[in-house]
A and B are shown apart, each in its own frame.
Chain A
């Protein structure tokens, strides 16, 4: 079964850091680009970041550029998101997603169940 499982969410104060992880299984992880997508409470979807199969192409939403860092370890079938200088507006459910292609040019055909990040004092 193709599966993505996120972990690492929690409650954190503004200005602090958090690292999210995503474990992939049931597919050849290093063949595909991967993304992080978030959804604020009662809001729509927002792309956060994505990287190609070999980490050669990496992109960030303007709202997180300079604060968040995406990475992957293909040997461990894992995707990560290091989030620094967190803000209240970063609160939401963070989904790990798989692209249908190796580069960042397709739809996202596999989604995890998400991990919740709450930024509050």
Chain B
């Protein structure tokens, strides 16, 4: 099973700043990675797939990068609605999720 490790567990930032979230795979997954945002009481929402392709409706301030085992989600100019938990997910070998990063003020 491919293990996905996200860091940090919690990220404290201020509105207007840039947040950088990391996700590491235990073995190469090429670019088979997706990012999700989950707010309290809501189902997750797909933000990015294939490591860097924005899903329909994802604002341009969200960008994904990386390949192989190291991936990054960057949120530029954080807005109040961006404070949430973010998960990465690999689909190279079945599916596994990372443990999540909580972005808080």
State whether the Cβ of B89 lies closer than 8 Å to any Cβ in chain A: yes
Whether B44 pairs with A45 at a CB distance below 8 angstroms is yes
Secondary structure class of chain B's binding surface, majority of residues = loop
Whether A112 pairs with B43 at a CB distance below 8 angstroms is yes
State whether the Cβ of A92 lies closer than 8 Å to any Cβ in chain B: no
Query: When chains A and B are docked, how far (Å) is the Cα of A37 from the Cα of B89?
Result: 12
Please count the residue pairs between chain A and chain B whose beta carbons lie under 8 angstroms apart in the complex.
64
Select A105's contact among B48, B91, B100, beta carbons within 8 Å: B91
State whether the Cβ of A1 lies closer than 8 Å to any Cβ in chain B: no
Report the minimum CB–CB distance from A33 to chain B (whole Å): 10
Report the minimum CB–CB distance from A107 to chain B (whole Å): 3
Whether A107 pairs with B49 at a CB distance below 8 angstroms is yes
Whether B100 pairs with A44 at a CB distance below 8 angstroms is yes
Supposing A44-B87, A44-B99 touch, asked if A107 and B94 sit within 8 A by C-beta, the answer is no
State whether the Cβ of B76 lies closer than 8 Å to any Cβ in chain A: no
Report the minimum CB–CB distance from A39 to chain B (whole Å): 9
Extra contacts besides A107-B34, A107-B46, A107-B89 (5): CB < 8 Å: A37-B97, A45-B44, A45-B89, A46-B97, A108-B46
